[in-house]
Structure 1
Amino acid sequence: MNTQIIKLADIKPAPYNPRVQLTPKDQEYKALDASIAENGLVLPLVVNLRDNCLIGGHQRLSVLLAAGETETNAVVVDMDEAQAKALCIALNKLDGEWDYGVLAEILQELIEEHESLTSTGFTEADINDLLGEIGKELDEDDEPPGVEKKEDTGDGVKCVVGDFTFKLTGEEFEDLMADVREKVGFTQLLVCEELKGRLFDEV
């Protein structure tokens, strides 16, 4: 393991960090702040030397900056972006709350780049469970742009995709979305385009 003193101002938070960023009002942030104040930074930041991008320790970096620290002894690695994303997920596996939208996009990108998802620290069963949770979160919170799902009034769920309107039963809608996401993943724009493509094939 290689370590190096790095100025905090030079470290760039990873845009692909899948964890929800804590704020000073959050209990987890306060606990981390108190721990670092009492014990120091026991778990160092992990920084990619290729681009100075932070792979692990986003919450700790926030606490250090707020405390007025200017540099830290960080673990340094030399990785391409796909490897860095996989390591970022692995390091974040046990901490914080997932941002399912970001996590879905990272997993989809790793799949498209033929990167083994087991390098993220998850077993195959973990990944299947996680993808199921992502699907639930996106179904509840983030319908794809241009896709609108109306409440089931008893005669079917009214779905609006662009200029098209159609009705499905609740079960049919869930089956359709599951099939689409199995084909194109969880990226919202790709889901929307796939739905539109299927509609055009039907008309």
Structure 2
Amino acid sequence: MDIRIIPIEQLNAALYNPRVDLQPGDPEYEKLRRSLDEFGYVDPIIWNEQTGNMVGGHQRYKVMVHEKGCTELAVSVVNLDPERERLLNLALNKVSGRWDDEALAQLLNELQEGGADLDLSGFDSEEIGELITEFNGMPDTEIDLQVVEDDFDVQGALDQIKEPETRRGDVWQLGQHVLMCGDSMNAEDVARLMDGIKADLVVTDPPYNVAVQSDSARLAEAGTSSIMNDDMPAEEFAGFLHAIFEQYAVAMEPTAAIYVFHPSSYQREFEDAMNAAGITVRCQCVWVKNVATFGWAQYRWKHEPVFYAYKKGKVPAWYGDRTQTTVWRAGLPTEDPLPETVWEVSKGDVTKYVHPTQKPLELLAIPIRNSSRRGDTVADFFGGSGSTLMTCEQLDRLCRTMELDPVFCDVIKLRHQATTGIEPVLLDRADPES
């Protein structure tokens, strides 16, 4: 191999080069630029001494000269007539080794688990995700776990609670799960809840800032029929969202997915806060309900959007099959048996729903099945009536959940005990004198 240092004035672009001429800002151009920034100029341009044309490396030339200001470059020199030069150009652009996809998926997975920035590999997150899903996924039995509604009487539980047993700052063990009565914006509370554990998945339903009210007479009497932190000025709500997603980002494994239920009216605020915390939205799923909301709007709401997101620069773990789409269907009659980006899940008997934003277990099972395995840790810092925890109970996941309202912490404890027979155990009380 003849390697020489040649002034850039002698390196001519081959006018016949059939490759697309990339421009700054093009995804492939930016991948090449980042690779050269990270690893340096390790693959020399091929230059034909006979014609002065570059045979291979036109895009590398562009980055090295226009981005880095090089005035001379190391090149691999060939001496070919014009016809053979064109044939070599085609061969360089066309001939390449075939990937062993399974070995490639394993290598990418190992690099990701080691914290490597996979953007430098030249593969985009969609390609990496598809490879890892296809070759490193769990068997179908993982997806086939069934979830049934527990039909827990939340109103009856509220009637039992004259004075909540739970105090602010309490940490409770509920079988294999952990519940804390705390503030999802507070880093100390989140650290106490997680106790050094990172979440393999987040499923969360933060307040929507739309002043949702419960129909529960018990909650109305106690003055707690509305969700805490659900009626703030716009600027305060934006700060609230930034704070909670910062805490989620800290609590998540690098490969954790995060599913975020949110209102259409505050979609931009949610996504801005997620982006600021280094969380990137991959797509939006839609839950189609069996009943529309009551009201006088021209179009009554019968769906709820859900962001599917992950940490920027990472690939979220995926254990679902390749038939999953952004429509989620379950519990409603449909001609198409496959879930899509719209999740059609019956709310069941809505008269039993007391917490204003209570979700059916079958709905929460969709993201939990697709993005976690048995034994994984699922985090939800807005526990509500405990639906995420109860879904994790049936799917053999470990839930770490936070709830600000002591009354609903007691509801979660009663709900878990009613299903499992396991009594809650107080692990820690922040201030015994309070």
TM-score range, shorter chain: 0.3 to 0.5
Larger Cα-atom Rg: 2
Q: TM-score, normalised by structure 2?
A: 0.21
Considering fraction of residues, name the structure with more helix: 1
Q: TM-score, normalised by structure 1?
A: 0.45
